[in-house]
Amino acid sequence: MQRASDDSALSIGTRPRGRPRNPDVEARILAAAAQVYGAGGWAGFSLDAVSRAAGIGKSTLYARWTSGEDLLCAMIQQRWQAVATIDNGSLRGDLTAFGSLVLTRYLETGGGIARHVRRDLAGHPELAARIGPVLGALTEQAIAILRRGRARGELREGVSPALASDMLLAAMETHAGRIGPGETMSEHAIATYAARVADLLIGGIGT
């Protein structure tokens, strides 16, 4: 994930136009967008493809987003917006909650979105210019979890919050990829695995 210093980047390119929002319809569209992008990346992503996957008329989708870039931004923001609400008062609790969210999202596409984003941003500068700031703002929210831990004295001095965040993300993506797309884990199993990773990580970065 690239970094940005301003959380306002989350709103870049994601504001729908036209008719008032219908949360149920938009949730259906964004879920379809995640599956389409997770399966084929940017090369297979378009408003038409998402319309077909969602079983929703093109006019309904085009009334909300003007381009594939807009829709991709909205999908990424919607999937990760809960990161900003994580604050359980302890580094272990926050890392477990963060890890659970990451693993849940990765399992939905077998880690496909994360893999495609890395390749697509490297190969499509125009896409990186649109999506990069959104990912950067989300990364900053994840890093904030580690910084709060440092402020509470739970993180050793000299440990990079960005590196620790990357390590947790990599562990969850690897596990999701090992399980494969379409496979599921129970909420309890996800939380248990996330707690194990958090404990292992804290063993290396904690005070």
pLDDT in tens, 17-71: 555 567 789 999 999 999 999 999 999 999 999 999 999 998 999 999 989 999 9
12-75 CATH pick, 3.40.50.150, 3.40.1190.20, 1.10.3720.10, 1.10.10.60: 1.10.10.60
28 phi, psi to nearest 5 deg: -65, -45
All structural domains of the chain with their residue ranges? 12-75, 80-205
Beta bridge partners of 155: 206
Grouping H, G, I as helix, E, B as strand and the rest as coil, residue 122 is: helix
* Burial grade of 36 (CB within 10 A; 0-12, 13-18, 19 or more): buried
Q: What is the DSSP string of 128-159?
A: HHHHHHHHHHHHHHHHHHHHHHHHTT-B-TT-
57/200 Cα distance (integer angstroms): 47
Fold annotation for 80-205:
Tetracycline Repressor; domain 2 (1.10.357)
Tens digit of each residue's pLDDT (9 = 90 or more) over 148-160: 999 999 988 888 9
pTM of the model: 0.81
* Burial grade of 146 (CB within 10 A; 0-12, 13-18, 19 or more): buried
